[in-house]
């Protein structure tokens, strides 16, 4: 059974139509559209559902665990993220700037693995931000069906307003909005839920550096040493995606080993493959999608013992 988001059900329903067209037997895949508090709640509570694999917010993940406790079904959770994307002083800046833009602005930032915390070494931070800000401001917003569009709208007016509210949150806590932070005033975008690519500089424990915004909104943090970068990276409750940009592979492997995240990209970001496990730690959930690790979440190990000669155990012989 598949329960799509109530905000975006049409793509899932189209997949169900295609499955029927190519000959999937009726009942093999069942689409269950509806709201989380009705359809989702019922699936989590129902004893006939043996496993829930959920992708979404940490708050909803907690509700699913609570609803499923009565039947002890297996639950796999792929939840929120606040990915640290760390750029060291020896990084290839051209690659890192483009990679950082992809990490946060791809899919309008609506990705759990987004590199939403940009952690910059103080030696290269000013140059990086100057170039990164110009790149962000140049991103073409528009109709997602237009091949010239580089960034489309968010999924709803409510979500757009939530993302935009974080610019006020940043300012209240002493942060600086460097680029964006508002809805674009461009002809043709009036009826869409658009947000300009937004760059905000803040402190590691500010709300914009701790809470998942889930939009084209990146928080910039500065560091002076590897230890400080690692402390910043691990200073949230989330642990899904993370990234490192450096020419020193010894440093990269040491940092990747110490970052509390289920995935770490070195000199790239948001690379995925069906053979590589996908998932997080902490408030980013548990269990894995893809790879052999995912197969374990859908199977049960059993033990079957066969006595091939069927003799009576010697300690019970008379």
CATH number for the region 10-79+277-297 comes to: 3.40.605.10
Q: At residue 315, does pLDDT exceed 80? A: no
Mean pLDDT of 11-25: 95
Q: What is the pLDDT of residue 228?
A: 98
Pairwise CA distance, residues 154 & 128, whole Å: 27
The token pair that represents 28 in the structure block: 């093999």
pLDDT of 138-149, one tens digit each?
999 999 999 999
Of the listed 17, 21, 45, 112, which one is catalytic? 112
Q: Active site includes 112?
A: yes
Pairwise CA distance, residues 270 & 150, whole Å: 17
Q: What is the pLDDT of residue 57?
A: 93
SS3 78: strand
Pairwise CA distance, residues 166 & 218, whole Å: 11
The token pair that represents 173 in the structure block: 């806590």
Q: At residue 313, does pLDDT exceed 70? A: no
Q: Considering the entire predicted model, what is its pTM? A: 0.93
Of the listed 45, 78, 89, 237, which one is catalytic? 78
pLDDT of 68-122, one tens digit each?
988 999 999 999 999 999 999 999 999 999 999 999 999 999 999 999 999 999 9
Q: List, edge to edge, every strand of the sheet that includes 84-87.
A: 176-179, 198-201, 217-223, 117-121, 84-87, 242-245, 265-266
pLDDT of 266-278, one tens digit each?
999 999 999 999 9
Pairwise CA distance, residues 247 & 189, whole Å: 41
pLDDT of 272-302, one tens digit each?
999 999 999 999 999 999 999 999 889 999 9
Pairwise CA distance, residues 178 & 129, whole Å: 9
Give helix 226-233 / helix 249-258 axis angle, nearest 10°.
30
Binning pLDDT at 50, 70 and 90, where does residue 307 land? confident
Q: What does the mean pLDDT of the chain come to?
A: 95
Domain locations in the chain as residue ranges: 10-79+277-297, 84-266
Q: At residue 316, does pLDDT exceed 80? A: no
Q: At residue 250, does pLDDT exceed 80? A: yes
Mean pLDDT of 241-259: 98
Q: At residue 314, does pLDDT exceed 80? A: no
pLDDT of 153-208, one tens digit each?
999 999 999 999 999 999 999 999 999 999 999 998 988 999 999 999 999 999 99
Superfamily of domain 84-266: Aldehyde Dehydrogenase; Chain A, domain 2 (3.40.309.10)
Binning pLDDT at 50, 70 and 90, where does residue 62 land? very high
Q: At residue 2, does pLDDT exceed 80? A: yes
pLDDT of 35-56, one tens digit each?
999 999 999 999 999 999 999 9
Q: Active site includes 78?
A: yes
Binning pLDDT at 50, 70 and 90, where does residue 318 land? low
Residue found under tokens 């019970």:
316
């Amino acid at each position: 059974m598949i329960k799509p988001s109530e905000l975006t059900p049409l793509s899932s329903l189209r997949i169900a139509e295609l499955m029927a067209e190519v000959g999937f037997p009726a009942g093999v895949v069942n689409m269950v559209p509806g709201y989380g508090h009705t359809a989702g709640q019922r699936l989590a509570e129902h004893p006939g559902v043996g496993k829930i694999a959920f992708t979404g917010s940490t708050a909803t993940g907690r509700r699913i665990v609570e609803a499923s406790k009565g039947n002890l079904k297996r639950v796999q959770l792929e939840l929120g993220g606040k990915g640290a994307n760390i750029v060291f002083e020896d990084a290839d800046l051209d690659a890192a700037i483009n990679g950082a833009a992809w990490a946060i602005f791809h899919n309008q930032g609506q990705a759990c693995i987004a590199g939403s915390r940009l952690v910059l070494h103080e030696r290269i931070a000013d140059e990086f931000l100057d170039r990164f800000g110009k790149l962000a401001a140049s991103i073409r917003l528009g109709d997602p069906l237009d091949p010239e569009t580089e960034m489309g709208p968010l999924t709803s007016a409510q979500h757009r307003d939530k993302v935009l509210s974080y610019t006020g949150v940043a300012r209240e806590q002493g942060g600086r909005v460097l680029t964006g932070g508002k809805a674009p005033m461009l002809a043709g975008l009036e009826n869409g839920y658009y947000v300009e690519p937004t760059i905000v500089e803040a402190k590691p424990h500010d709300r914009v550096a701790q809470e998942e915004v889930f939009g084209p909104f990146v928080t910039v943090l500065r560091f002076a040493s590897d230890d400080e970068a690692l402390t910043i990276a691990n200073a949230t409750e989330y642990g899904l995606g993370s990234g490192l940009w450096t020419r020193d592979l010894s440093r990269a492997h040491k940092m990747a080993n110490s970052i509390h995240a289920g995935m770490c990209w070195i000199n790239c970001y948001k690379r995925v493959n069906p053979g590589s496990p996908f998932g997080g730690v902490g408030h980013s959930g548990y269990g894995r999608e893809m790879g052999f690790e995912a197969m374990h979440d859908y199977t049960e190990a059993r033990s079957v013992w066969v006595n091939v000669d069927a003799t009576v155990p010697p300690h019970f012989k008379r």
